[in-house]
Amino acid sequence: MKTTLRGRLMLSFLLAILATTIILVLVANVVTRDRFTYMVSFSGQRTVQRLAPVFTSYYVQVGSWEGVETVMDWYNETRFQGMQDDAPHPMNPRWEKDYRPEVFAEDRLLLLDSNGNIVADSAPEAGQIKLPSGIEEKGALITVDNRHVGALVIVSALGELNVYQSDFLRQVTRLLIAAGVLIGIIGIVVSGIQAKRIVAPVKAISKAAQQIATGDFSQRVPVAGDDELSEMAATFNTMATELERQQELRHRAMADIAHELRTPLSVLQIELESIEDGLSEPTPETIAGLQSEIVHLGRLVEDLRVLSLTDAGELHLDLEPVAVGSLVAGVVERMHRAAAEKGLHLAVKGAESAATVQGDARRLTQVLLNLLANAVQYTPAGGTIIVAIETTGDQNVSITVQDTGVGIAPEHQLHVFERFYRVDAARSTKGSGLGLSIAKSLVQAHGGRIQVTSTVGQGSTFTVSLPLMPAAILPKTPGSA
């Protein structure tokens, strides 16, 4: 039989409540009985201490315990008639005023002689009673002329409860049990509510997860409160949102890849069919055009391969110490001709920097070439492109590529590093739309980060931050110590 989470939670709650209630009832009952018995015993000892002078006076007057039953009868009459009875004792009127006992109606009084034998009993009809050793310690010793003549003991002082006292304890026990049952009922109700509250979001997440497993990434679960269950629901929603976004990116990527492949392939197909049908001649210009499309296809395939390797964490990097100043100077030198042909001013700041990073020089060159190619492409004639190197205080070196181009709107800046993403106002339809995605992947593979800031109509600034090599492992220059 399948046990549900709610059932297990309720069972756990009930077992905990049941165990706690039983322990509390038992402890409360034991403590109550112990304290009540002690109170009765203490009260009995006080009573015999007050009654002892009565019996002492009797012994002084009579000289023995003979006929002491008259005093015991007075005790019985007094305890049954209560404190309002004003009838004095026939032997000594003072006893009624000074020694009237304050005892329970069923307290049994025993008078013992000097040998510990029972001389008088207020309730002989109750049968014989077995006296424990050291009983005198529980009562009041009676001495006459410094001579021990007897002891007065109340049975309740020995811990023996009468019928009324026992009934009282039974009532207390019944009340404790009733309270325990009430607590158990309340526990069942509360545990059911709590179990339902705990299980509800779990069931909602489980149901939504099943829908996501079938491909429905639009599923979301309600988030209420700020506890761990709410945090789990919020995390699930974040995961579902990211899965939905990734699905959209995959669909868009597949469509963009198909488009990027279809365009050069269509050109190749048309040109080849034209040559085959004799509509055009395989001139050097035609062959060069076909070759350009093939190169474009090759670059697209290579870009996709690099991205797939970085996604899988399998991109191989030939790591070695790379002097950032020399690397940047070399890349800028390669782009000078393209910038000059477009009438742009290309400059470098900090080329003399001694910053060194652990990296793959070929891949870092690919990143900078991509950034500079974009800057040259989207900067109007007469504009300026500045590449700057700066060492920051957090053990990083930053390389910025700043242009005075058309800029990128704020709503597009968060997406420029996504694959196949194009900004119509700032980017043409040339290229595969993978350059910045590859640049970001390569920078991250080096443990760095890349970011962009831009203002429409004023230009863009791309910043690449890379961790510096520790001084302890930098290569030594010739002549260094």
How would you classify the pairing of strands 345-349 and 384-391? parallel
- pLDDT reported for residue 443: 92
Residue 208 placed within a domain: no
> How many angstroms separate the CA atoms of 110 and 117, rounded?
10
Residue 411 placed within a domain: yes
The phi, psi pair for 23, rounded to 5°, reads -65, -45
C-beta atoms surrounding 310 within 10 Å? 17
- pLDDT reported for residue 91: 46
Helix (H) or strand (E) holding 461: strand 459-467
Residue 178 placed within a domain: no
- pLDDT reported for residue 290: 81
> How many angstroms separate the CA atoms of 21 and 370, rounded?
74
- pLDDT reported for residue 327: 93
Two structure tokens written together for 308:
């797939």
Residues 250 and 324 in one domain: no
> How many angstroms separate the CA atoms of 263 and 235, rounded?
42
Residues 341 and 409 in one domain: yes
> How many angstroms separate the CA atoms of 338 and 383, rounded?
13
Domain-ending residue, one of 312, 335, 354: 312
- pLDDT reported for residue 332: 92
Q: Give the tens place of pLDDT for each residue, 129-171.
A: 777 676 666 778 888 888 888 888 888 777 667 677 778 888 8
Two structure tokens written together for 53:
């002078």
DSSP 468: B
Residues 400 and 345 in one domain: yes
Residues 148 and 232 in one domain: no
Residue 217 placed within a domain: no
Which range marks the domain in which residue 259 is found?
A: 228-312
- pLDDT reported for residue 18: 82
Residues 289 and 334 in one domain: no
Name 26's Cβ contacts closer than 8 Å, sequence gap at least 6: none
Domain-ending residue, one of 295, 312, 329: 312
- pLDDT reported for residue 79: 60
Measured CA to CA in angstroms, residue 152 lies from 56, 116, 121, 132 at distances of 10, 10, 10, 14
- pLDDT reported for residue 427: 45
Assessment of whether the complete model's pTM goes beyond 0.85: no
Contact 138, 38 (CB under 8 A): no
> How many angstroms separate the CA atoms of 253 and 99, rounded?
107
Domain-ending residue, one of 289, 312, 335: 312
Measured CA to CA in angstroms, residue 132 lies from 129, 153, 156, 219, 400 at distances of 10, 12, 13, 80, 101
- pLDDT reported for residue 452: 93
> How many angstroms separate the CA atoms of 342 and 461, rounded?
20
Residues 366 and 304 in one domain: no
- pLDDT reported for residue 86: 47
Q: What total number of domains does the chain contain?
A: 3
Q: What is the pLDDT along the chain (481 residues), one digit of tens a residue?
A: 456 767 777 778 778 888 888 888 888 888 888 888 888 778 777 888 888 888 888 898 888 898 888 888 877 776 644 434 444 444 454 444 444 444 444 578 888 888 888 888 888 877 777 776 766 667 788 888 888 888 888 887 776 676 777 788 888 888 888 888 888 888 888 878 877 777 888 888 888 888 888 888 888 888 877 777 788 888 888 888 888 887 877 777 677 677 667 777 887 888 888 888 877 788 888 888 888 778 878 877 877 777 777 777 777 888 999 999 999 999 999 999 999 999 999 999 987 888 899 999 989 998 999 999 999 999 999 999 999 999 877 689 999 999 999 998 888 888 888 777 766 544 444 556 678 888 898 999 899 999 999 999 899 999 999 999 875 445 554 444 3
Residue 413 placed within a domain: yes
